[in-house]
Amino acid sequence: MTVRVLHVAAELYPLLKTGGLADVVGALPPALLPLSADARVVMPGFPAVIAGLDNLHPVAHTGPRFGIGNPVIEFGTLRSNGTGVYIVRADAFYDRPGNPYLDAAHHPYPDNGRRFAMLGWAASLLAQGADPAWLPEVVHAHDWHAGLTAAYLKAAAAEQHRRMPPSIITVHNLAYQGVFPASLFGELGLPGGFFQVEGAEFYGQVSFLKAGLFFSDKITTVSPTYAHEIQTPAQGAGLDGLLRKRTHDVSGILNGVDYTVWHPSIDPAIAKPYWVDDMEGKAACKAALQARFGLTARTDTPLFGVVSRLTEQKGLDALLASVPEIVARGGQLVILGTGEPTLEAGLKRAAHEHPDAVAVELGFDETLAHSIIAGSDVVAVPSRFEPCGLTQLYGLAYGTLPLVHHVGGLADTVIDASLENLADGMATGFVFERFEITAVTAAIRRAFALFDRPDEWIATQRHAMKQNFGWEASALRYYDLYQRLAHHR
């Protein structure tokens, strides 16, 4: 049965991306199409988004809100795949260059509360029929940016004494909660009763994510293990109590890979295509990567790659501490990332100290990200926590063995190259159990050891490349959830 779903999100690949959220929001709507789910996206009208949509036209004028004049909801289609996208055109909020959340000095914009309240509010208007041509049957919000959507829907339902479409919130990362001073609450236009522990209040402040977790009908997160972890005090970031209370509404649905974007046989961004039965191109990709970064051209030693936001979450401080181990063994390391200045500086220092073996590029570069995933032998994802993680999945597809911490989605997707797993032909990467420098270093040593056994390395690579993490299975699980919510209430 067809179901119309409105995704509410701040990022969308290929138009605007700071991390995996964009990849998911870009890939899930087309993956739902074969299941006859008709999915559209609503997002802020950032300049890059406006520039990337075709046939953009107004569908609704909302009236003034949040202290700025007349925002307009417009609709257009994504050039790359035809996905329908609504934008909230509110230039006073969104017509700012660069990062959607941070200013040029990397500080959150002071009006982020109102900027993203606008998104949730506009989504709730669409759910109430703002576009007469398309009424969603389920509203699916992503992360704190869209957290107020369900609150606005509940408020509208109470005010108008009518049913609203059911809502889902997907937690891509519980560490980002959208918490603002209590003084913001009065500007949100929500019923006063919503500002309490059983609602949007979080230790005296307003939490957009908590509002989403409290008011949405269902909660999903992006891997089964993370769904479990966020219900524990250790990883619940203060919200585990609420999540435990709602445990029957919480589920983990693993992210997929968009193999039309991330597959070495068709990737236009890499030096030479390859696939599991013809791996010759991978050597060309490695050589091109070494040349691009001025590293010594070597085939006899593993090249470790990293493509990552440089935040505490990602655990790259531990990798940095392991650089001497990589260098001493003759290995190489390439890092692409942007984020915390101290980490950026530390990585730059390591590259300066070992110019033949370590190279760092600070910035966000989609093409280079593909070159690194293709040209490396190992992709390192030593995250302290990881809701799902996509780069390890891209690594698997490219025969670039992931080196990961046994946590969240990393634990759900990578199988350690232990002796017994190698013997049984199950291994796909290197997994370390505890987040400690010695454990990272030990995993690196195991990567070197396996690299020195080419037959086993190749067998592991082949097994990794044959894993199927396509969107089909996950899209089906979302579709089931939509069906249950929309048609069996």
Task: Work out how close the CB of 204 gets to ligand GLC at its nearest, in angstroms, rounded to a whole number.
Answer: 27
Cβ distance to ligand ADP smaller for residue 340 or 365: 365
Residue 337 binding: pick among ligand ADP, ligand GLC, none (C-beta 5-8 Å cut-off by kind):
ligand ADP
Residue 140 main-chain phi, psi, to 5 deg: -120, 105
How many CB atoms sit inside 10 A of residue 467's CB? 15
Token representation of residue 45: 């009208």
Task: Work out how close the CB of 465 gets to ligand ADP at its nearest, in angstroms, rounded to a whole number.
Answer: 18
Nearest residue to ligand ADP on Cβ basis: 20
Contact residues for ligand GLC, defined by CB under 6 A: 19-21, 24, 172-173, 222, 255, 386-390, 409
Q: Under rule CB under 6 A, which residues in 351-370 are in contact with ligand ADP?
A: 364-366, 369
Cβ distance to ligand ADP smaller for residue 23 or 131: 23
Residue 391 binding: pick among ligand ADP, ligand GLC, none (C-beta 5-8 Å cut-off by kind):
ligand ADP
Q: Which of 20, 45, 199, 302 binds ligand ADP (CB under 6 A)?
A: 20
| C-alpha span between 291 and 285 (Å, rounded) | 10
Cβ distance to ligand GLC smaller for residue 21 or 270: 21
Residue 307 binding: pick among ligand GLC, ligand ADP, none (C-beta 5-8 Å cut-off by kind):
ligand ADP
Task: Work out how close the CB of 414 gets to ligand GLC at its nearest, in angstroms, rounded to a whole number.
Answer: 13
What is the number of alpha carbons within 13 Å of residue 37 lying toward its C-beta? 28
Q: Does 256 contact ligand ADP by CB under 6 A?
A: no
Token representation of residue 332: 């190489």
Beta bridge partners, 380, equal 403
8 A C-beta contact, residue 374 and residue 387? no
Q: Does 337 contact ligand ADP by CB under 6 A?
A: yes
- Which contacts qualify for 444-448: CB closer than 8 Å, 24 or more apart? 444/304, 444/322, 444/325, 444/326, 444/331, 444/403, 445/325, 445/329, 446/417, 447/302, 447/304, 447/377, 447/378, 447/401, 447/403, 448/302, 448/329, 448/331
How many CB atoms sit inside 10 A of residue 179's CB? 17
Of the candidate spans 267-275, 331-339, 419-427, 443-451, the one that interacts with ligand ADP by CB under 6 A turns out to be 331-339
Residue 30: C-alpha distances to residues 33, 40, 81, 155, 307 (Å): 5, 10, 8, 31, 25
Q: Does 408 contact ligand ADP by CB under 6 A?
A: no
**Beta strands at 167-171 and 401-405: parallel, antiparallel or unpaired:** unpaired
Q: Does 336 contact ligand ADP by CB under 6 A?
A: yes
Q: Does 19 contact ligand ADP by CB under 6 A?
A: yes
Cβ distance to ligand GLC smaller for residue 375 or 389: 389
Extended strands (E) in 144-202? 167-171, 179-180, 201-202
Which helix (H) or strand (E) segment holds residue 310: the answer is strand 303-310
Q: Does 292 contact ligand ADP by CB under 6 A?
A: no
Cβ distance to ligand GLC smaller for residue 360 or 388: 388
Token representation of residue 196: 């309490």
Q: Which of 11, 23, 201, 317 binds ligand ADP (CB under 6 A)?
A: 23
The contact set with ligand ADP (CB under 6 A) reads 19-21, 23, 307-309, 336-338, 364-366, 369, 388-391
